[in-house]
């Protein structure tokens, strides 16, 4: 399975959606979705857009590998993109966070900072 296929399967499983759910929402036949997931075919740009809209991710996440995304991003965004591409759960969380008003997002970030300890560098010897 190619990276595109793995991306699609990971996104679908993270949503708890079946291939038939994706077919119904996008109009892309389930056999074609299966072929994408198995790496037998790559989605056309039109189908990649439909899939990206359904999964709530950028089209690049559907058609590019993490390495290919890194080639087109500024260096300061590479690590963020790589993490998001490899973690569908983070993408889903980001989609939820996007809907929060700025004040609520700040309150949530402050709360998480309090309950999740930051890693401290090891003492130098």
Please list the rounded mean pLDDT of every run of 10 residues in the chain (125 residues): 76 90 96 94 92 87 73 76 77 84 88 79 59
The verdict on pTM exceeding 0.75 is: no
Domain membership flag for residue 74: yes
Per-residue pLDDT at 66: 64
Per the domain annotation, does 120 fall within a domain? Answer: no
The CATH number linked to 64 is: 1.10.260.40
Confidence (pLDDT) at 122: 57
Give the total residue count for the chain: 125
Domain that holds residue 14: 3-115
**Cα radius of gyration rounded to whole Å, the chain:** 17
């Amino acid at each position: 399975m190619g990276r595109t296929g793995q991306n699609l399967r990971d996104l679908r499983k993270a949503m708890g959606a079946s291939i038939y759910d994706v077919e119904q929402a996008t109009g892309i036949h389930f056999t074609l979705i299966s072929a994408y997931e198995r790496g037998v075919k790559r989605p056309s740009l039109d189908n990649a857009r439909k899939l990206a809209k359904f999964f709530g991710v950028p089209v690049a996440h559907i058609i590019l590998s993490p390495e290919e995304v890194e080639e087109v991003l500024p260096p300061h965004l590479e690590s963020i993109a790589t993490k998001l591409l490899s973690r569908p759960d983070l993408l889903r969380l980001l989609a939820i966070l996007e809907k929060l008003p700025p004040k609520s997002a700040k309150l949530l970030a402050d709360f998480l900072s309090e309950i999740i300890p930051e890693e401290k560098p090891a003492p130098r010897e």
